[in-house]
Amino acid sequence: MRTFLIKSLAVSATALLALTACSTERDKSSSGDSGTAAKGFPADSLIGVALPSKTSENWVLAGDLFTNGLKEAGFKSDVQYAGASTTVADQQNQITAMVTNGAKVIVIGATDAAQLATQVAAAKQAGATVIAYDRLITQTPDVDYYIAFDNFKVGQLQGQALLDGMKAKKPKGPYTIELFSGSPDDNNSGVFFNGAMDVLKPAIDKGDVVVGSGQTEIKQTATQGWKAENAQSRMDSLLNSTYNSGKTLDGVLSPNDTLARAIITSVKGAGKPIPVVTGQDSEVESVKSIMAGEQYSTINKDTRKLVAETVTMVKSLQAGNSPQVNDTQSYNNGVKVVPAYLLPPVIVTKANAAEAYADDPKLAPLTK
């Protein structure tokens, strides 16, 4: 089904290459563990955590949670973020420093999936275990584990929410939509997009859903750096071209909350009615927007759980055990299938927000 989707999308050769590079992760054909022999290490060892720049709230939260969680577990930690502009070089240097300082495990949320091969090779050579956190690291044999929310499922939930939201507003189609995807250097972007297209493509093929601009290739929909201003300016130009003579825009597939709000800002600025807009991350401003009836949906990927599970993985490694994984086939990084531990994402709309955030002290009050 998923392979079929990639083949059946009308993409150019270049776009197909980009898509494949982004999305080799869903190859179901092979399986296996990384073969890393767990030897264990001293309980107060240094654990390095290299996170990307703070492009969304989940990264800000993760940094604090890692610092506290690793400390509570008795480890020394070094938690670093890539800067805002020279992100790739920053992260490469940070990982190299962690290796030099003797980190036993290096947890990495990659800024650019394919640009860390040299650094993770050095980490492996120094005897460290490499865990890809939230974003897969590609084109290297030197990544041991992957931990994330199920990214393909995230995309499917977004696609379904878009259809449901439009139907609730206007029972009969056809519906006109636009598609946005994340940064091309983030492996997740292709997976989210493919998941969403898995749901949307049949409706597009039937003619129930029409992409107004005709821009259905991931390359055309990409948002470099996951930056709000890039999504906002693409939405501005779509509104000034495809929608400048009264055509109604019913829905927008947005891969995350930051971009959803940028898209909504653009639409409001143009004085048009807000379409159904999806999102992801349960950011505070987006939860408020959902409760106010503007953004339609988000995805709850509880960062507290993801970090806690990652710390559990580190503890297993410390004790000389193999961490628990629950998926040994989906995430082919172009060189190997990386054993993964995937958590289930939850779709959130105004209808279930109170229930979804009931145990979140920051978000629950917003849903009252």
Q: Residue 217 interacts with ligand BGC (CB under 6 A)?
A: no
Per CB under 6 A, 254 contacts ligand BGC: no
12-20, 182-190, 286-294, 325-333 -> range binding ligand BGC (CB under 6 A): 182-190
Which listed range, 17-25, 51-59, 266-274, 321-329, lies at the site for ligand BGC (CB under 6 A)?
Answer: 51-59
Q: Return the residue matching tokens 């995309």.
A: 155
Which of 45, 56, 140, 254 contacts ligand BGC by CB under 6 A?
Answer: 56
Q: Which of 158, 160, 188, 213 binds ligand BGC (CB under 6 A)?
A: 188
Which 131-150 positions form the footprint of ligand BGC (CB under 6 A)? 134-135
Asked whether position 34 contacts ligand BGC by CB under 6 A, the answer is no
CB of 104 to ligand BGC, least distance (A): 25
Q: Which is nearer to ligand BGC, 59 or 152 (CB)?
A: 59
281 forms part of the interface with ligand BGC (CB under 6 A): yes
Q: Is 45 in the site for ligand BGC (CB under 6 A)?
A: no
Nearest to 142 by CA among 167, 157, 125: 125
Between CA 93 and CA 317 the distance in angstroms is 24
Give 29 or 85: the residue with its C-beta nearer to ligand BGC: 85
Show the binding pattern over residues 151-180: x = contacts ligand BGC (CB under 6 A), - = does not: ------------------------------
Q: From the CB of 298, what's the least distance to ligand BGC, in Å?
A: 10
280 binds ligand BGC (CB under 6 A): yes
**Least distance in angstroms from the C-beta of 19 to ligand BGC:** 17
Q: Does 57 help bind ligand BGC (rule: CB under 6 A)?
A: no
* Residue 25 binds ligand BGC (CB under 6 A): no
Q: Which stretch binds ligand BGC (CB under 6 A): 34-42, 52-60, 162-170, 323-331?
A: 52-60
Residues that bind ligand BGC (CB under 6 A): 55-56, 58-59, 134-135, 182, 186, 188, 226, 256, 280-281
